């Protein structure tokens, strides 16, 4: 009941959600992005910039379109039946829907970590080596070994699995699997890493490890993370975007969003009054 | 929002309900229902097992005897005078020699008091018409036998075999029997000397078809089945897997693909004889391919098995969790790479199970092969996919249709072989599934 009241009153006091960046380099730019699942409009015109080499957190109640937005960024939505994506999405100023752009290369540049850990049912080594192998990143076995070790180290998993690289990735614990998936994503050395609730299946210790990892990765990668944990958004991100019912309600520096939100709905959500 | 406390809904406390008489009765009723259900289940399984045991029991009791064949021991003299009167001693002469004369001579020595043309002919009928070939093979293998006398176990005729196996009733009047009184007397005389014995019947596993039951074997049908099924597998595995992969992973979901899907499901249910008629009209009539050939049989069976493999393949692909596809796409694999590297290997156990079950189905398929002429009487073992051949189930059909009493047990024996092969194929399916099964 609360929700619909707020939603109805929204257009009256429509204001700039502040999704655009002027003071720093923009890695990805989305303008007026609409997504329809059949007749249902899941995203209603999103204008949002993703800053280079920083962590952008997407928050909002369930079903508001965070995952849909995230999956637009690397065109993971392409194969969903009945979906329609409108608007402009850019990576480094280049339209990702450009005919001349190869979607496979786009996905190599924009890695993704999913909500549920989904390692391949293959050896741990093969999980990490797969991406570099199909993109020809390593000239020989030694280089490949190096990439695998480096990625696993970055994902804080190397010490735990270095003795059993030939065992299936599916045999690891949930938290280890998720770190394996992160290692797999960064093994191709992407520029952007998208993470859809990467810690939702993990215990606090594994979560802390991954948050630490995200903080380290920030130096080299642009990261967009969807999360349901306000604390996590506050801890790991520099900017936060609040989605509600397919709209971008408010976006700004994380500190500002969590201390002095301009929107009443943002305030209500982060203090736990709805969602 | 409504306050839960305001809802005026107060059920009786559950412990009170359970303790009441009504509650106890309900428990009793539930127990009774569970017992009844278990009985029904056991009954159903019992009935199924009874039928299975009945079928296997009949087939086994009828067919096992066919693996042993009555043999008669005769002292055969490889007489130079009879075999090689000109003394040439070369292979061609020995190949064309009259071995029946050796048997006749041996029988004459065994029963010196039998005289007269018709009696001698009756006596000669104790051994199989194929016994002459057995002697020829012996001599050609070991030419030093020439001029010597050795005891030889010769295959008996099917009538003697049936008599020894107790199928023919001695008490019946002679006219109602296939074997004459005097022949029974001779057989008894031989048996009394220990010269009649049931021996393992290797001919059954090494020979092709024959009009003589004791010379007929399943090897011809088996080889025909191998050629036919090999061709079927060669055709329908790649086509079926490619079709399944395309339809499941790449084809747009629209009215056309829906139509194709419906039609594939329908094809799986089309009676197989229709495919036989199709094969007759198209492969034989239009393309002029040879009749009775495993080539055509394989193609017709491929048509029959194809829908099964496509349906099983699609089901197996559908069962692979989408997260695997997303994982592969997420690291920048193309859809092809995602399918070939990750999805298909995971679906392979299901694809293989489906294929083997389809092949087992094809192994037992008879009607469509009758249509394309694989019902011909073929004595020679087929040597290639275009030589005339028959297959195991058609062999069963033909033997079941033969008048000689001895073909009854051959029919059951061929069914046993067929069932064993089916069992092996299903075991292979289970083994492959277990071996390639992976958890994710
Ligand atoms: N494949 C789909 N087909 C139809 N509707 C969909 C599909 N995926 C998502 N939706 C709808 O689009 C809306 C946004 O979904 P989305 O998954 O983006 O939400 P979300 O913000 O990620 O939610 P959560 O936090 O629960 O993951 C929802 O109303 C959902 O029902
Ligand atoms: Mg989501």
- Show which of B215, B237, B255 is a domain's final residue: B215
Based on the structure, what is the number of domains in chain A?
Answer: 1
What confidence category does residue A10 fall into, taking pLDDT thresholds of 50, 70 and 90?
very low
Q: Assess whether B321 and B419 both reside in one domain.
A: yes
User: How far is CA B319 from each of CA A88, A92, B313, B347, B348, rounded to the nearest angstrom?
Assistant: 35, 38, 10, 8, 11
Q: Is the residue at A177 inside a domain?
A: yes
pLDDT of B15 strictly over 90: no
ipTM of the complex: 0.87
Residue of B nearest to A134 (CA): B333
Q: What is the mean pLDDT of residues B275-302?
A: 92
Q: Assess whether B294 and B413 both reside in one domain.
A: yes
Residues in A closer than 8 angstroms to B439, CB to CB, are 121, 170
pLDDT of B214 strictly over 60: yes
Contact B327 A104 (CB under 8 A): no
What strand order describes the sheet that includes B196-200? B149-155, B68-77, B196-200
Q: Is the residue at A219 inside a domain?
A: yes
Q: What is the mean pLDDT of residues A236-240?
A: 95
Q: Assess whether B230 and B371 both reside in one domain.
A: yes
Q: Is the residue at A77 inside a domain?
A: yes
Q: Assess whether B241 and B314 both reside in one domain.
A: yes
- Per-residue pLDDT tens digits for B57-91: 999 998 888 899 999 999 988 888 888 888 777 88
* Alpha-carbon span A169 to A161, nearest angstrom: 10
- Per-residue pLDDT tens digits for A13-27: 567 788 888 888 899
pLDDT of B380 strictly over 90: no
Return the pLDDT at B164: 87
Task: Give the residue ranges of DSSP H helices in B64-116.
Answer: 80-83, 91-96, 99-110
* pLDDT, chain B, mean: 89
Inter-helix orientation angle B294-318/B344-363, to 10°: 140
Which is more confident, A152 or B438? A152
Q: Assess whether B71 and B163 both reside in one domain.
A: yes
Q: Assess whether B236 and B337 both reside in one domain.
A: yes
- Per-residue pLDDT tens digits for B117-152: 888 888 888 888 888 888 888 888 988 888 888 999
Q: Is the residue at B190 inside a domain?
A: yes
Q: What is the mean pLDDT of residues B205-229?
A: 90
Q: Is the residue at B1 inside a domain?
A: no
Q: Assess whether B343 and B232 both reside in one domain.
A: yes
For residues A214 and A237, the answer to whether their CB atoms sit within 8 Å is no
Q: Assess whether B73 and B44 both reside in one domain.
A: no
- Show which of B189, B215, B241 is a domain's final residue: B215
Q: Is the residue at B78 inside a domain?
A: yes
- pTM listed for this prediction: 0.81
**Chain B residues contacting A, CB < 8 Å?**
1, 253, 321, 323-324, 326-335, 337, 341-342, 346, 438-440
| Residue of B253, B324, B335 lying closest to A120 (CB–CB) | B324
pLDDT of A2 strictly over 50: no
Q: Assess whether B160 and B77 both reside in one domain.
A: yes
Residue A66 Cα to ligand 1 midpoint, Å, equals 8
Domain of residue A27: give its range: 3-270
Return the pLDDT at A3: 47
CATH number, domain containing residue A131: 3.40.50.300
* Alpha-carbon span A179 to A163, nearest angstrom: 16
* Residue A129 contacts B where some CB pair is shorter than 8 Å: no
Q: Assess whether B297 and B321 both reside in one domain.
A: yes
Q: What is the mean pLDDT of residues B390-395?
A: 92
- Per-residue pLDDT tens digits for A111-153: 999 988 999 999 999 999 999 999 999 899 999 999 999 999 9
Residue A36 Cα to ligand 1 midpoint, Å, equals 11
Q: Assess whether B290 and B202 both reside in one domain.
A: no
Helix, strand or coil for residue B127?
strand
Contact B438 A135 (CB under 8 A): no
Q: Is the residue at B350 inside a domain?
A: yes
Return the pLDDT at B41: 97
Q: Is the dihedral of CA A95, A97, A102, A103 positive or negative?
A: positive
For B230-244, give one letter per residue: b (16+ CB within 10 A) or e: ebbbebbbeebbebb
What confidence category does residue B439 fall into, taking pLDDT thresholds of 50, 70 and 90?
low
- Show which of B183, B199, B215 is a domain's final residue: B215
- Token match 């559908």: residue? B318
Q: Is the residue at B81 inside a domain?
A: yes
What confidence category does residue B223 fall into, taking pLDDT thresholds of 50, 70 and 90?
very high
Q: Is the residue at A187 inside a domain?
A: yes
- Interface probe with B: pick from A4, A76, A121, most Cβ of B within 10 Å: A121
Q: Is the residue at A131 inside a domain?
A: yes
Return the pLDDT at B3: 60
**Min CA distance, A32 vs chain B (Å)?**
25
**Min CA distance, B345 vs chain A (Å)?**
10
- Token match 């614990």: residue? A173
- Per-residue pLDDT tens digits for B321-354: 999 999 999 999 999 999 999 999 999 888 988 8
**Geometric angle at alpha carbon B231, from B229 and B232, rounded to 5°:** 60
The residue ranges of DSSP E strands in B201-241, in sequence order, are none
What confidence category does residue B110 fall into, taking pLDDT thresholds of 50, 70 and 90?
confident
**Geometric angle at alpha carbon B247, from B245 and B249, rounded to 5°:** 60
Q: Which atom of ligand 1 is nearest to the CA of A66?
A: 21
- Per-residue pLDDT tens digits for A70-116: 999 999 988 888 899 999 999 998 999 888 889 998 999 999 999 88
Based on the structure, what is the number of domains in chain B?
Answer: 3
Q: Is the residue at A43 inside a domain?
A: yes
* Alpha-carbon span B159 to B128, nearest angstrom: 9
pLDDT of A9 strictly over 60: no
Percentage of chain A exceeding pLDDT 70: 94
CATH number, domain containing residue B317: 1.10.3720.10
Q: Assess whether B371 and B260 both reside in one domain.
A: yes
Domain of residue B162: give its range: 67-215
- Per-residue pLDDT tens digits for B33-66: 999 999 999 999 999 999 999 999 999 998 888 8
Mutate to test the pocket of ligand 1, among A46, A68, A80, A83 (most ligand atoms within 8 A of CB): A68
Return the pLDDT at A5: 43
Give the number of the ligand closest to the Cα of residue A58.
1
Beta bridge partners, B429, equal none
Residue of A nearest to B439 (CA): A121
């Amino acid at each position: 009941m609360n929700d619909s009241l707020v939603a109805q009153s929204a257009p009256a006091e429509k204001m700039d959600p502040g999704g655009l960046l002027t003071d720093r380099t923009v890695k990805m730019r989305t303008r007026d992005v609409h997504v329809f699942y059949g007749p249902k409009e899941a995203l209603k015109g999103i204008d949002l910039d993703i800053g280079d080499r920083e962590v952008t957190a997407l928050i909002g109640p369930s079903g508001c379109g965070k995952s849909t937005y995230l999956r637009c960024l690397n065109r993971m939505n392409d194969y969903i039946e009945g979906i329609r994506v409108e608007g402009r999405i850019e990576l480094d100023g280049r339209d990702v829907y450009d005919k001349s752009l190869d979607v496979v290369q786009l996905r190599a540049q924009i890695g993704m970590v999913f909500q549920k850990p989904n390692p391949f049912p293959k050896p741990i080594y093969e999980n990490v080596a797969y991406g570099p192998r199909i993109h020809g990143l390593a000239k020989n076995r030694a280089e490949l070994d190096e990439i695998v070790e480096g990625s696993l180290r970055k994902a804080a998993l190397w010490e735990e699995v270095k003795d059993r690289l030939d065992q299936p990735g599916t045999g690891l614990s949930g938290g280890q699997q998720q770190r394996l998936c992160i290692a797999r994503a960064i093994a191709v050395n992407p520029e952007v890493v998208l993470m859809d609730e990467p810690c939702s299946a993990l215990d606090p210790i594994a979560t802390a490890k991954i948050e630490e990892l995200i903080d380290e990765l920030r130096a080299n990668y642009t990261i967009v993370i969807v999360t349901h944990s306000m604390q996590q958004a506050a801890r790991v991100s520099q900017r936060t975007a609040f989605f509600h019912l397919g709209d971008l309600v408010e976006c700004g520096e994380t500190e500002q969003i969590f201390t002095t939100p301009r929107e009443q709905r943002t305030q209500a959500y982060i203090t736990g009054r709805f969602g | 929002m409504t306050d839960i406390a305001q809802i005026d809904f107060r059920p009786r406390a559950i412990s009170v309900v359970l303790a009441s008489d009504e509650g106890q009765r309900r428990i009793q009723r539930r127990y009774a229902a569970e017992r009844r259900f278990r009985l029904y289940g056991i009954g159903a399984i019992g009935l199924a097992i009874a039928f299975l045991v009945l079928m296997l029991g009949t087939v086994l009791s009828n067919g096992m005897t066919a693996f042993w064949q009555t043999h008669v021991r005769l002292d055969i003299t490889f007489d130079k005078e009879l075999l090689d009167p000109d003394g040439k001693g070369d292979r061609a002469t020995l190949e064309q020699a009259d071995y029946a004369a050796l048997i006749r001579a041996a029988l004459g020595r065994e029963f010196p008091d039998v005289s007269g043309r018709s009696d001698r002919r009756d006596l000669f009928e104790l051994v199989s018409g194929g016994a002459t070939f057995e002697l020829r093979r012996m001599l050609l293998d070991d030419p030093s036998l020439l001029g010597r006398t050795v005891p030889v176990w010769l295959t008996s005729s099917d009538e003697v075999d049936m008599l020894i196996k107790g199928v023919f009733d001695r008490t019946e009047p002679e006219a109602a029997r296939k074997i004459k009184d005097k022949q029974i007397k001779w057989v008894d005389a031989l048996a009394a000397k220990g010269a009649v014995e049931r021996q393992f019947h290797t001919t059954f596993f090494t020979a092709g078809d024959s009009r003589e039951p004791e010379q007929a074997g399943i090897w011809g049908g088996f080889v025909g089945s191998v050629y036919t099924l090999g061709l079927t597998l060669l055709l329908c595995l790649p086509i079926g897997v490619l079709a399944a992969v395309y339809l499941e992973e790449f084809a747009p979901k629209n009215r056309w693909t829906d139509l194709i899907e419906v039609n594939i499901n329908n094809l799986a249910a089309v009676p197989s004889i229709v495919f036989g008629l199709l094969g007759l009209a198209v492969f034989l009539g239009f393309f002029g391919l040879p009749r009775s050939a495993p080539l055509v049989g394989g193609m017709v069976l491929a048509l029959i098995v194809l829908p099964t493999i496509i349906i099983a393949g699609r089901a197996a692909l559908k069962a692979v969790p989408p997260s695997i596809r997303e994982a592969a796409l997420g690291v920048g694999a193309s859809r092809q790479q995602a399918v070939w590297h990750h999805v298909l290997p995971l679906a392979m156990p299901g694809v293989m199970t489906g294929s083997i079950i389809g092949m087992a189905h094809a192994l037992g398929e008879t009607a469509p092969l009758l249509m394309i002429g694989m019902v011909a009487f073929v004595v020679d073992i087929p040597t290639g996919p275009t030589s005339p051949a028959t297959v195991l189930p058609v062999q069963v059909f033909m033997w079941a249709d033969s008048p000689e009493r001895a073909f009854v047990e051959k029919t059951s024996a061929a069914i046993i072989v067929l069932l064993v092969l089916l069992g092996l194929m299903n075991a292979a399916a289970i083994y492959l599934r277990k071996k390639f099964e992976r958890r994710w």
